[in-house]
Structures are given as structure tokens and as C-alpha cells.
Amino acid sequence: MAKNLIIYYSRTGENYVRRKVTVLSKGNTEIVAEYIQKAVGGDLFRVETVKTYPADYYECIKVAKAELRAKARPELKNYLTDISDYDNIIVAGPCWWGTYPMGILTQLEKLDFTGKKVFPVMTHEGSGLAGSKSALKKYCKGAKLGKGLAVRGADAEKSEDKVVKWAEKELRI
Ligand SMILES: Cc1cc2nc3c(=O)[nH]c(=O)nc-3n(C[C@H](O)[C@H](O)[C@H](O)COP(=O)(O)O)c2cc1C
């Protein structure tokens, strides 16, 4: 059976949910990442930046935009260094200005993806998979790109059936 690694970033605090700013005690992507693990097994690795992002939604989007423009690579609390044990690498994150939060890229750039299969997973409020596929093509050199999964953040909790269907089809080899 294929060995799965789920690399994810998720933020708690204020977020934009169905056109309203709402406080999330658990991030949407974390919920989806755990559903994937529950469905097909695998290890979870949470990307955590040393610098925390503002809990305030409007402050956070300003910081995120500046980081995207600057092509920032924020420092992480822990780094994965070796993914040689895994077949499938699922990269899950919220859509931030059309792509992954920059901390995910900090991590991806440190790994050797030769011979791996990578799968974009994105939670969003309308943008779908957005730039996640092109990001994985660019930052996971040597990997084959699998079919991705987009989940509306507001529907994260009730997305388990959709996640299971996708995971069983794409990740169970
Ligand atoms: C900084 C920031 C930027 C965002 N940019 C987008 C975007 O470009 N498109 C979109 O559909 N949703 C966007 N959102 C909404 C998030 O992608 C969505 O709420 C996501 O599910 C949050 O996941 P999390 O709880 O795991 O962090 C943004 C949210 C934040 C905080």
C-alpha cells in the first residue's frame, strides 16, 4: 500500500466565511487534512511559522499580501528534511491571495521530490485550487502531479464524504 504524507498549514483566528468574518477555533485545512489521514492513513506534518500571523482577518490579509509580493520564505518552527519513505505527498493549505501561504513554500523548497507523486489540496472561499497546481509543479521538482482536491472552507466540517471519495480514489494504490 502507498505511504502518504500530508503536509499542511492551517490558521486559527478570524477568517472569511460565507462573506462574514468569523472566528475559527480549528482551521479549515486542519479539518480536511485530518479527514484525509482518517480515510487512507499516513503521517501529518503541520507547517508552523516562527512568526505568528495576526488573528485579525484584515491585518492578516495585509501581511500575507506583502509576503507574497516579496516572495518571502518565513522561518518555520520545525522542518521536514527527508521524505524518502513516502510515495504520495499531499500538500494542503488555505488559498491566500490565489496560492499557498509562503510558509508552505519554505518547506517544499527544502525537500527532494524525485519519484514522488504530489497532490494539491486547497481550502478556499471561492478560488478553488487556484495556483496550488502550478505551485506544486514549480516547487516539487521531479514529482508527478496527481489530481487535486478543493474544499470550500465554510464546508470543511461537512466535507468528510467528499474527502473520503477523493482520497480513496487517488491515494489508495
Ligand atoms: C490571508 C488570507 C488570504 C485569503 N485569500 C483567499 C483567496 O485569494 N481566495 C479564496 O478563495 N479565499 C481566500 N481566503 C480564505 C481562505 O482561503 C479560507 O478561509 C481557508 O479555508 C482558510 O483555511 P484555514 O482555516 O485552514 O487557514 C484567504 C484568507 C486569508 C486569511
Q: Which residues form the domain of 63?
A: 4-170
CATH of the domain at 90: 3.40.50.360
Q: Which of 124, 127, 155, 157 to mutate to test the pocket of ligand 1 (most atoms within 8 A of CB)?
A: 124
Mean confidence (pLDDT) of the chain: 96
Q: How far is the CA of 44 from the centre of ligand 1 (A)?
A: 21
Nearest of 163, 169, 57, 47 to residue 103 by alpha carbon: 47
Local structure of 22: helix, strand or coil = strand
Distance 88 CA to ligand 1 centre (A): 25
Residue with the smallest CA separation from ligand 1 atom 28 is 96
Q: Which residue from 51, 86, 45, 81 is spatially nearest to 66, judged by alpha carbons? A: 51
Q: Return the pLDDT at 173.
A: 64
- Please tell me the predicted confidence (pLDDT) of residue 78: 98
* pLDDT at residue number 19: 84
Bridge partners (DSSP) of residue 36 are none
> Which DSSP symbol is given to 154?
G
Residue 63: phi and psi, rounded to 5, are -60, -45
Cβ proximity of 117 and 89 under 8 Å = yes
Site to substitute for ligand 1 among 35, 49, 69, 95, most atoms within 8 A of C-beta = 95
Q: 148 in ligand 1 pocket by Cβ < 6 Å? A: no
Number of domains the chain is built from: 1
* Closest CA relative to residue 163, chosen from 18, 9, 34: 34
**Å from CA of 5 to ligand 1 middle:** 23
Which atom number of ligand 1 is nearest to the Cα of residue 93? 26
> Residue 52 gets which letter from DSSP?
P
Instruction: For residue 59, count other CB atoms closer than 10 A to its CB.
Output: 13
Planar angle of CA 114, 34, 15, nearest 5 degrees = 100
Question: Of 15, 3, 173, 153, nearest to 84 (Cα)?
Answer: 3
Q: What is the pTM of this model?
A: 0.97
CA-to-CA distance for 172 and 42, rounded, in angstroms? Answer: 11
Is the pLDDT reported for residue 84 higher than 90? Answer: yes
Q: Which three cell numbers stand for residue 96?
A: 491566500
Structural contact between residues 75 and 49, judged by C-beta atoms closer than 8 angstroms: yes
Residue-wise pLDDT for 17-43, tens only, equals 888 888 888 999 999 999 999 999 999
